[in-house]
Amino acid sequence: MIIHREGRVLLFVLLVVLFALNWAISYFLPQAIAIQNISIGISIVFYLLILQFFRSPVFTINQNEKHVIAPADGKVVVIEEADEPEYLKSRRKQISIFMSPVNVHVNRMPVGGTISYFKYHPGKYLVAWHPKSSTENERTTVATKMPNGTEVLFRQIAGALARRIKWYVQQGQTLKQGDEFGFIKFGSRVDIFLPLDAKINVKIGDVTKGGRTVIAEL
């Protein structure tokens, strides 16, 4: 387990701020031992909560060109056929994974291939499970063309708390299955659009592990 690069500066600054706050309380209220202890306890719990959010587990990714692996930790909230009007412009099977603030928020490539399309969309911050979040919230759209020509499209979608989407890809770039393609801070959602003949291996309510859970087969 390591700390993701997106959280290192924030965690350092937060540590300094909390240390300064508790030092100030002990300096100006030297007799208020109870208040000092409460402040220290709250600071430790708060810091650990933020720390766990930026954790980035280290594990071996079993790459398989016939598998679609989960792009993120979370819970499956949508499995349906839907139109994808932005790039693929066709009917697809959609799987949506909701990430709560306690999930690992590293986003990983569900398949390997070349980035055939990328676009960032500014937008609203509706709750991530809202039906219109896929089209109205801040989001990125990424399409990957696999070596066999199949294209898989996926979106990072900001939620009510997730006010910053980070992405590490650009059009024309080639990545392996399981490589990091982005990070979303503090709760969000990822949608994946697959060919209609894809075999879905998950159901609504299933918990996924990014880079490990096989959510479909092509």
Q: Which residues are catalytic?
A: 188
Q: Are 160 and 127 in contact (CB under 8 A)?
A: yes
CB of 4 within 8 A of CB of 183?
yes
Burial 173-202 (b: 16+ CB within 10 A, else e): eebebbbbbbbbbbbbbbbbbbeeebeeeb
Nearest to 2 by CA among 68, 55, 46: 55
Phi and psi for 88 in degrees, rounded to 5? -70, -35
Can you tell me the distance from the alpha carbon of 187 to that of 189, in angstroms, rounded to the nearest whole number?
A: 7
Helix, strand, or coil here: 109?
coil
